[in-house]
Amino acid sequence: MFTKRRNSPGSPPATLSPHLVDGQVRKPAIQIIEYDGEHFEEREIHDMNELAAHLDNPFVTWINIDGLGDVEALKLLGEKFHLHPLALEDVLNTGQRPKIEIGPDYLFIVAQMVYQNREATICGEQISLFMGKNFLITVQEEGEYDVFEPVRGRIRGGRGTIRNLKEDYLTYALMDSIIDHFYPVLEEIGSKIEILEDELLERPSRTMVQTLHEYKRSLTQMRRFVWPLRDVVNSLLHESSGHITQSTQVYLRDCYDHTVQLMDLVETYKEITAGLMELYHSSVGLRTNEVMRVLTVITSIFIPLTFIVGIYGMNFAPATPDGKALPLNMPELYQPHGYIGLMAIMAVIAVVQLIVFRKMKWL
Amino acid sequence: MFTKRRNSPGSPPATLSPHLVDGQVRKPAIQIIEYDGEHFEEREIHDMNELAAHLDNPFVTWINIDGLGDVEALKLLGEKFHLHPLALEDVLNTGQRPKIEIGPDYLFIVAQMVYQNREATICGEQISLFMGKNFLITVQEEGEYDVFEPVRGRIRGGRGTIRNLKEDYLTYALMDSIIDHFYPVLEEIGSKIEILEDELLERPSRTMVQTLHEYKRSLTQMRRFVWPLRDVVNSLLHESSGHITQSTQVYLRDCYDHTVQLMDLVETYKEITAGLMELYHSSVGLRTNEVMRVLTVITSIFIPLTFIVGIYGMNFAPATPDGKALPLNMPELYQPHGYIGLMAIMAVIAVVQLIVFRKMKWL
Amino acid sequence: MFTKRRNSPGSPPATLSPHLVDGQVRKPAIQIIEYDGEHFEEREIHDMNELAAHLDNPFVTWINIDGLGDVEALKLLGEKFHLHPLALEDVLNTGQRPKIEIGPDYLFIVAQMVYQNREATICGEQISLFMGKNFLITVQEEGEYDVFEPVRGRIRGGRGTIRNLKEDYLTYALMDSIIDHFYPVLEEIGSKIEILEDELLERPSRTMVQTLHEYKRSLTQMRRFVWPLRDVVNSLLHESSGHITQSTQVYLRDCYDHTVQLMDLVETYKEITAGLMELYHSSVGLRTNEVMRVLTVITSIFIPLTFIVGIYGMNFAPATPDGKALPLNMPELYQPHGYIGLMAIMAVIAVVQLIVFRKMKWL
Amino acid sequence: MFTKRRNSPGSPPATLSPHLVDGQVRKPAIQIIEYDGEHFEEREIHDMNELAAHLDNPFVTWINIDGLGDVEALKLLGEKFHLHPLALEDVLNTGQRPKIEIGPDYLFIVAQMVYQNREATICGEQISLFMGKNFLITVQEEGEYDVFEPVRGRIRGGRGTIRNLKEDYLTYALMDSIIDHFYPVLEEIGSKIEILEDELLERPSRTMVQTLHEYKRSLTQMRRFVWPLRDVVNSLLHESSGHITQSTQVYLRDCYDHTVQLMDLVETYKEITAGLMELYHSSVGLRTNEVMRVLTVITSIFIPLTFIVGIYGMNFAPATPDGKALPLNMPELYQPHGYIGLMAIMAVIAVVQLIVFRKMKWL
Amino acid sequence: MFTKRRNSPGSPPATLSPHLVDGQVRKPAIQIIEYDGEHFEEREIHDMNELAAHLDNPFVTWINIDGLGDVEALKLLGEKFHLHPLALEDVLNTGQRPKIEIGPDYLFIVAQMVYQNREATICGEQISLFMGKNFLITVQEEGEYDVFEPVRGRIRGGRGTIRNLKEDYLTYALMDSIIDHFYPVLEEIGSKIEILEDELLERPSRTMVQTLHEYKRSLTQMRRFVWPLRDVVNSLLHESSGHITQSTQVYLRDCYDHTVQLMDLVETYKEITAGLMELYHSSVGLRTNEVMRVLTVITSIFIPLTFIVGIYGMNFAPATPDGKALPLNMPELYQPHGYIGLMAIMAVIAVVQLIVFRKMKWL
C-alpha cells in the first residue's frame, strides 16, 4: 500500500509509462454513460475515436477507464479534452497523495479508495477524476472492487436527484462513495481491535502484537489518504471558478463532514491501538512478574530443605575404619526420633516460609 | 460509544433509515411545551398533525422527540419546518461529531450528552436541536436518562429568567445542561483514578491496568465529543445572522467557559492516566527486581552449601572391596570433629554471603 | 487541587451557593484600604452598608474580602458596583481556569495563586478581582497564606510609586504578586527534583517514583494555572477600553515577561521529570540485569558440580547382595586417588566457567 | 551527514575558507553549457577569465563548478556576477539548511542532494544555485555521484521542452532532479525496513536494533533536508519578482507536489520505524517471559522431587552403633514396595504439576 | 544553569539587588572602546563620571561592564542614558529568557551565551545590550570566558567593515559572536554522543545513562536559550524604528539563518539522544534475555539429571534389618551394567535437551 509509482529521477516531466501486467500492456475497459433527466445511455467503447460522437451533446457524459495499461489511449483522451500532460503523469504514477488542481477548463482530482479484498487484506486503489463542462472522466487502477457501482445503479434507476443535476453532482456522488467506502474497512479494523482487546489480557501472544502492528500500519496509511482528502473536499467546497453549482455545495458540506468524521475515527483507532500496545506490554510485564514469583517461592521453600536433607545424607562415619568411635559425627542419625524430628522441623520451616510469602502478597 | 451509525456506502444522500428496537419500529414520545412570561402549556402528542395548532402563536414552542424509530413523523416534521433532508439524516445517523449548521431559517446543532447508567458504565446519546423563529425542536435517542429534565422544571416553575426570554435562551439552557452533565461523569472518573493511584503502588494487578485502559478510552471518547462542542458554542457566540439575541450571548460566553474548562479537565485526566500507566510499569518493574533479588540471595546462599554437603554424601570408599585401605578417600569423614567443623565452615560461608548481599543493598 | 466547585447540572445560571465550613456559613473578613498620594486609611468593616461612605471620594478604594461564606454580602456588593451575577457565580465556584472579562464599567479577573502550606503540600487558592473607576475589589478563599500582604505593606509605607498611581497600578501590583509567588514553589520543586536525581541512580526505590509522580501532577496543575494567566496579562496589556493607563502598561509588560518565564520553567521541569522517570526505568532495568547475572553465574557454576557429587553419592553396589562382585559399578569409588582427583576435576570446571563468564563480561 | 562546516566563532562575516583534500587545495572542474533551441555548446574551462566570452550572448549559460577548493575562482565568479559575499560563504560552509534568497539580480538556492554510495551508506552533498538573467551557476561538493547528469543528457539530446525554455526551466529541472533522487534512497530504506519487520518477530537480535537506529537517524536527517526544501520550492512557486515565468510555474507546482509526497514518505517511514522499535521491545519482553516460564516449570517440577529423593538419601540409622534398634528412623526404607511406591508418588506429583501448569497456560 | 535570579515576591518593580561574591560587593571592570573609520581608543574606567567625556563625540562608543556587583554604577549609567529601571532589573536578575525591547531611544536586548569551562561543564552567562544613537552598552556576568574578544580584535585591527559602520553593525557583530559560540558546545556534545552510541550496544552501563541524561538536560536548557534568541534576531531584522540601517540587515539575515540552523541542530541532537535512550533500553532488555536463556538452559539440563542421581543415592535397603530380602527395592543398583547404563541414559537426556534448545534458537 505504501508504494508510490514514479519515473526514474531526472527524466523529463510528464513522462507517461504504462502499467504492465506480466510484462504486457493490457487494454483498459472504457465505459461511457450519458444521461440527463430523460435520456440514459450506457455502453462500452474500444477505441478513443468512438468518443467523438458523445462530445457535442447537452447530456452529462461520464467516461470511466478501468486499467492503466494503454498510454496511447490516455494521450488521445488528453488531446481531446485538453488535459495537462503533468496531470496524466499523475494518473499513471499511482500511489499519489490525494490532491485537487483547479484549472480554468476542468478540475483534476486524485483520490485513493480503500477496500478489503477476498483475503481480508486492505487494498488501496488510485482514482483520478477530470471534471469539465458536461463531462466527467474517471480513471481507476484495475482492481477487484469498484466503488462506483452503487452510483451507476442510482443513475440507471433514475433514483434520487442524480439524473436531474449536472456533472458536479456526479463528482460529488463519486467522491462521497469513495469516502463512504472507508467506513466499512475502519469498522472492520475497529471490531477486530475490540476482539484483540479482550484476548490481550487473558493470554498475550506474539501473533497479537503482529496483528496490532499491522493495523497500526494500515491506519497510518489511511491517515495519509484521508487527511489530504479533507483538503480536496474543502477546496471543492470553496471553489469559486464556477465548476460547482450552489445546489451541489450543500451536499459537499455533508461530504466534508464525513471526511472530518473519518479523520476523527482514524485518529481514535490509532490512539486505541497505541493504548493496546501499552496494555500488551503491561500484561507481559505482569505475567513475567507472576512467573518469577512462583519460581522464587518454590525455590525458596525447597532449596533450604534440600540442603538440610543433604546434610543428613553425608557420610561422616560414627567410627574410624579401625573401629574407634567418633561420637561427635552426626549423632542425630542415631537418635530414636531423629528422622521424625527432622521431618517436623522441615515442615515448620516450610510453613513459616509460606506464611512469610503470603504476608508479602506473593501468593 | 464509538459506533457511528451510517448508511451503506454509495447510497443516495439524505437516505433516512429508522432505529429499530428488536427489529421493530417503536413510536417516539413527542412532547410539546409552549410558554411565554404568563402562558405555560405542556402536553404529549401522538400525531404530527396535532402540531398545526401550535405553530401560529407568539409563544415559544419546544417540541421534544424521544426516540428515533419513526421516519415518517420526522419527514412530516421536516416538511412543516422546512428542515433540510441532510440534517434529518444526521439526526438518525447517531454517533455524529458535534457540529452546528447555521441556515437562514434555523440553526441545526448536533451534540452528544454523556451520563453513567445504572451499571456505572458511561453512555453517550446524541441530541439534535433545530432552533428557528419561536420554535425549538430537540430529538434525542431513547435512553435511561434525560438531561433536559432540570430545564423543564425551571420552565414549569417559572424560575429564573427562562420564561421571559425566547427560544435562543432555551437553546442556551439546554446546551448548558448538556455540557454541565459531563462534569459528574468526569468527577466520577477523577475520584476513581485517585483511588487507583493509591492502590497501584501497593499491589499492582491486572484488573487495574484494564480499568485504567477503560478510563483512557472513555476520556479519548469524551474528548472527541467536547472539542467540537467548544466550536459549536463558539459559533453560536459569534453567530451574526440574528438567531441569537445579545442578552443570551452573555450566557453563552459563560457556557463557552464551561466547555474550555471541560476540555482542560479531560486533557488533565488523560495526562494523569498516562502518568499512572507509567507508574504501574515502574511498580511492576521494581517488584520483579525485588522478587529476583530474593531468589538470587536464597539461591546464592544455599546452592554452594548444598554442593558441599553433596561432597560429603559421596561414597568414596575407605577401602577397596577386598579390604585394601584407601586413606586418601575422604579422610575428613573419619575425623572426630569432621561433622562439627564442616557445619561451622558452612555457617561462616552463609554469614559472609549475607554480609556481602547487605553491602550490595540487596537485603 | 484539581477540584472545581460547580452547581448541579441544569441549575439556572448565576446560582450563588456559599462555601460552608463544617456545614456552617462563616462571615468573611472584609477590609478596606483607601489611599492617594497623601491620604491613607485602613479598616475592617462588618456590614456591606458601611461601604457607602467610601464610594464617593476621589481616593483609590481597595476592598478585600477574605472568605466565600456570605452570599448575601456578595450580592449586596454586586448591586452596589453593578457586578454581573455570572461573574459572582465564578467568584464562588472556585477552581476556575484563570480568565479576564473586560466590560464597559469594570474588568473582572480570575486568577489562581499557589503556595506551600506548613506541611509543604502545594495549595491553590482562587483570587477574583473586579477593577473599576477608583475601586478594586478582591475576593479570596480563606487560606493559610495571603499573597497580598507585601503589597499592603508597600501602600502603608508609601514606598515606590504605588501611592501616586491609580487602581490600575494596584491591580498590576497584585497580579505581579500572585505571579511571583509561583516562583518559590517551583524552585522548591526544582531543588527537590535535583536531590532525587542524585539518589535515583544510586538506589531506586518505590517512594521516589511516587514523589516524582506527585511533582509531575503538581506541575501539570500549575501549567493549567499559568498558561491562561499569560493570556490574562496579555489581554490587560492590549486592553484598549481605557481601564489601563499607559504608565502602567510598561509594568504589565514586565509582568507578562514573568508569566512567559514561568511557563518556560514549568515546561522545563516537566521535561526533566519525564527524563527522570525514564532514568528510573533504566536504572531498575539495569539492576535487574545485574541481579540476574549474579544468579546465573552462581547457578551455572554450582549446579553442574552438585550433579557430579550427586553421581558419586549413588549407591550402585560393588557386589550383589549375595556377594557376586560387580566391578563395573562405580569403580572410581575404589581408586586410591578417586576423591582427590574428582575434587581437582571440579576445581578445573569451576575455573573454566569463571574464565568464560569473565570473557562474556558478566563478572 | 550531520556536520555543518562553519567559520570559527567571532570571525568576520563572509570569510571564505576553501575545502582542502589531504591538506591541499584541489582545482575544481568547471563546465559550461550554452544553449537555446538551435544552439548547443559544452566545454570545460580552467580559468574564470575564459567566462567572459560566454556572458554577452542571448543563450542560456549554465556554469557548473564541481569542487569547493578554489576560493579565488569563486571570488572572481562573485565579482563577475555580483554575487553577495555572504552567499559565497554559504556555498563553502556546506551542511547548510536548504534555503532560498531572492534578490533583485539573482535567486540564490541552497539544497542538499542525497544518494547511496558504493558501500550503500547514505551520503549528502550540498548544491548551491545562482540563477539570474540568462545564466545559472551551480556549485557542488566533489562527490561520487552527480544528480545533474540526466538533465545534461536531456539538453544534449534536445529532448523535451528544455532547450526551448530559459534558465528558470533549467533551474526547475535541476531542482526536480535533486528532489527525485531522494526517492530511490527512501525506497531502499523502505524495502530494508520491510525485511527487518519480518525477521524482528522471528529472532530479535542486537544488530537489528542497531540497523533500525541507523535508519531512524538517516530519516531524521533527511527530514531536516526535505522540510526546508518544500519552503524553497514554495517560495519559487510564489516568487513575484519576475525570475520565474508562468510556463515554468506549472512545472514547479508538480515539483512542489513531489516534496510534499517526500515529506509524507519520510514521516511515514519514521512512524513505521518507531513502531518496529516498539515491536522489538514487545518481542524481547515476550521471549524473556517464555524463557522464564520454561525455567519455572522445569524448576518447579524437579526441585520438590529432588528434595524427596534427598530425604531417602539420608543416613538415619536403623540401629545405634551399639546395635539398639531405632524402628522410627526411616522405616520406609525397609518396606517391600517402598521404592516402587515412592517412584509412583513422585510420578503423581509431577503429573499433577504438569496439569496445573497447563491450566495456567504456561505450557 | 536553570536558576533564574529574582527579587522576593511582592517587592516593588525595578528593585535592583547586586550580585555578591562571598557576601561582598565587587567592583565591575568597565571598559570603553571608541572608534570610527580613522579613530580608535580603548581604555578602562573606574568611575562612571569619567564617561561624560565620551558622550558628546561622533564616534561609536562601546561601554562594556563586566560584573554585576555595583548597583550604584548601574543606576548612574541608567540616568546618563535614560535606561528604564525595569530594564536594569532584568540586567541584574540573570537567567532571563532572551528578549528584545524596542524603545524610542534605545534597543534593549537580553541574550544568553554558552561555553564550556575548564572542567568541560557547560556554563551559561547572561549578556545585556543597550544600543542607542552612537553608543552600545554591554553588561555581562563575571565569567571565565569572554565571547566579545574576537570582535574587539577586529575593531582594534581595523579588519573587515566593522570600523566603517555604526553601532548597529557592532550590535550585529556581538550577537553573531554570541550565537556562533553555541556551535562548538553543540559539536562537542554531538561528538560525545557519537562515542556513546558505539559503546552503548557493546556494554551498557549506568554511567552512560547518566551522561546521556545530562546531555539531554543541557540540550533542553540550550533550547530554552536558542528559541527566543531567534525571535530576538527576527525582531531586529524587521525592526522599523530606524535603529538598524539597511546595510546591517543583510548581515542580520545571515545571523537569523544561523539561529535557525542552531535550533535545527539542538532539535536533532535531542531526537538522537532520545533514540539512544531507547537503544539503551533495548540493549539492556536483550542482555537480560540472553542471561536468562543461559540460566534456563543450564538449569534445565542439570536439574533433571541431579534428580536422577538423587534417586540412586536413596538408601532403600535390599533387605530388612533382620535379613529378609527386599528384591523390589532398587534392584538396578545390583545390575552388572547399572552404573554405566544410567550414565548413558543421562548422556542421552542431556543431548536431547541440547538439540531441543538449539531448535528453539536458545543456543
Q: Could you report the per-residue pLDDT of B199-215, keeping only the tens digit for each?
A: 887 777 888 888 999 99
Query: Facing residues of A64 across strands?
Result: A31, A138
Q: Which of A7, A312, A336 sits opposite D328 (nearest CB)?
A: A336
Is residue B68 situated within a structural domain? yes
Q: What is the pLDDT of residue B320?
A: 86
Residue that terminates a domain, selected from C234, C265, C283: C283
Q: What is the CA radius of gyration of chain B?
A: 37
Residue B264 to residue C224, Cβ atoms within 8 A: yes
**Exposure of A103 in the CB half-sphere (CA atoms within 13 A):** 18
Residues of chain E with pLDDT under 70: 1-2, 159
Q: What is the mean pLDDT of the segment spanning D221-242?
A: 92
Query: Which of E108, E333, E342, E343 should one mutate to test binding to chain C, selecting the residue with the greatest count of C CBs within 10 A?
Result: E333
Q: Which of D282, D289, D330 sits opposite A209 (nearest CB)?
A: D282
Residues of C in contact with E291 (CB under 8 A): 289, 292-293, 296, 362
Query: Which of E82, E88, E203, E206 should one mutate to test binding to chain C, selecting the residue with the greatest count of C CBs within 10 A?
Result: E206
Cell of residue A19, nine digits = 502499467
Is residue B153 situated within a structural domain? yes
| Each residue's pLDDT tens digit, D122-159 | 888 999 999 999 999 999 988 878 889 999 999 998 86
**Residue B51 gets which letter from DSSP?**
G
Is residue D298 situated within a structural domain? no
ipTM for the assembly: 0.86
Q: What is the pLDDT of residue A198?
A: 82
CA–CA separation, C356 and A174 (whole Å): 70
- Dihedral sign, CA of A302, C305, B308, D309? positive
Q: Which of E10, E86, E338 sits opposite C329 (nearest CB)?
A: E338
Instruction: Judge if D71 and D207 occupy the same domain.
Output: yes
Q: What is the mean pLDDT of the segment spanning C234-259?
A: 91
Q: Which long-range contacts (CB under 8 A, 24 or more apart) does E267-270 make?
A: E267/E223, E268/D2, E268/D220, E268/D221, E268/D224, E269/E186, E269/E189, E269/E190, E269/E193, E269/E215, E269/E219, E270/E216, E270/E219, E270/E220, E270/E223
Domain count, chain E: 2
Residue that terminates a domain, selected from D246, D267, D283: D283
The amino acid sitting at D321 is P
Q: What is the pLDDT of residue C159?
A: 66
| Each residue's pLDDT tens digit, C43-58 | 999 888 888 877 788 8
Residue C125 to residues A59, C68, C74, C115: CA-CA distances in angstroms?
72, 12, 18, 8
Is residue D11 situated within a structural domain? no
Q: What is the pLDDT of residue D159?
A: 66
CA–CA separation, A136 and A62 (whole Å): 5
Instruction: Judge if B325 and B238 occupy the same domain.
Output: no
Q: Does D307 touch chain A (CB under 8 A)?
A: yes
Instruction: Judge if A277 and A134 occupy the same domain.
Output: yes
Residues of B in contact with C285 (CB under 8 A): 285
CA–CA separation, A14 and A229 (whole Å): 24
Instruction: Judge if A274 and A332 occupy the same domain.
Output: no
Q: Does D162 touch chain A (CB under 8 A)?
A: yes
- Residue for cell digits 443535476? A165
| Each residue's pLDDT tens digit, E42-63 | 999 988 888 887 778 889 999 9
Instruction: Judge if C91 and C189 occupy the same domain.
Output: yes
D82 torsion bin: left (phi>0), alpha (psi -120 to 50), beta (else)? left
Instruction: Judge if C334 and C279 occupy the same domain.
Output: no
Is residue B302 situated within a structural domain? no
Q: What is the pLDDT of residue E1?
A: 57
Residue E294 to residue C295, Cβ atoms within 8 A: no
- Residue for cell digits 527522570? C276
Query: Which of B267, B295, B303 should one mutate to test binding to chain C, selecting the residue with the greatest count of C CBs within 10 A?
Result: B303
Instruction: Judge if A221 and A330 occupy the same domain.
Output: no
Q: What is the pLDDT of residue C1?
A: 57
A155: CATH:
3.30.460.20
Phi, psi for C9 (deg, rounded to 5): -60, 140
- Indicate the pTM of the whole model: 0.89
Instruction: Judge if B321 and B261 occupy the same domain.
Output: no
Residue A150 to residue B11, Cβ atoms within 8 A: yes
Residues of A in contact with D313 (CB under 8 A): 309, 313
Instruction: Judge if E167 and E29 occupy the same domain.
Output: yes
| Each residue's pLDDT tens digit, C154-163 | 999 886 788 9
Closest CA to D124 of D235, D26, D220, D21: D220
> Which ranges of chain C would DSSP assign to H, the alpha helix?
71-81, 85-92, 149-157, 167-180, 182-202, 206-237, 246-311, 338-359
Q: What is the pLDDT of residue E168?
A: 94
A329, closest residue in chain B (CA to CA): B339
SS3 A121: coil
Q: Which of E86, E298, E325 sits opposite C321 (nearest CB)?
A: E325
Q: Does A295 touch chain D (CB under 8 A)?
A: yes
Phi, psi for C112 (deg, rounded to 5): -120, 125
Residue D220 to residue E271, Cβ atoms within 8 A: yes
Is residue A130 situated within a structural domain? yes
Closest CA to C155 of C164, C146, C145, C143: C164
Domain encompassing residue E117: 20-283
Q: What is the pLDDT of residue E42?
A: 93
Contact at 8 Å (CB) between D291 and E289? yes
SS3 C354: helix
Is residue A272 situated within a structural domain? yes
Residues of chain A with pLDDT under 50: none
Residues of chain B with pLDDT under 50: none
Residue E217 to residue C275, Cβ atoms within 8 A: yes
CA distance C192 to chain E (A): 14
CA distance C95 to chain E (A): 23
Q: Does B289 touch chain A (CB under 8 A)?
A: no
Q: Which of D190, D260, D317 sits opposite A333 (nearest CB)?
A: D317
Q: Which chains touch E (3 or more CB pairs under 8 A)?
A: C, D
Instruction: Judge if B319 and B219 occupy the same domain.
Output: no
The amino acid sitting at C220 is T
Q: Which of A97, A309, A314 sits opposite D311 (nearest CB)?
A: A309
Q: Which of C210, C291, C310 sits opposite B289 (nearest CB)?
A: C291
Residue that terminates a domain, selected from B263, B283, B303: B283
CA distance A175 to chain B (A): 9
Instruction: Judge if C67 and C134 occupy the same domain.
Output: yes
Is residue D1 situated within a structural domain? no
- Residue for cell digits 419546544? B62
Contact at 8 Å (CB) between E176 and E259? no
Q: Which chains touch B (3 or more CB pairs under 8 A)?
A: A, C
| Each residue's pLDDT tens digit, A154-195 | 999 886 789 999 999 999 999 999 999 999 999 999 999 989
Closest CA to D97 of D222, D255, D249, D238: D222
Residues of C in contact with B333 (CB under 8 A): none
Highest mean pLDDT among B78-82, C117-121, D116-120, D283-287: B78-82
Residue C326 to residue E334, Cβ atoms within 8 A: yes
Q: Which of C279, C303, C311 sits opposite E209 (nearest CB)?
A: C279
A288, closest residue in chain B (CA to CA): B288
Instruction: Judge if D57 and D181 occupy the same domain.
Output: yes
The amino acid sitting at D218 is S
Q: Does B300 touch chain C (CB under 8 A)?
A: yes
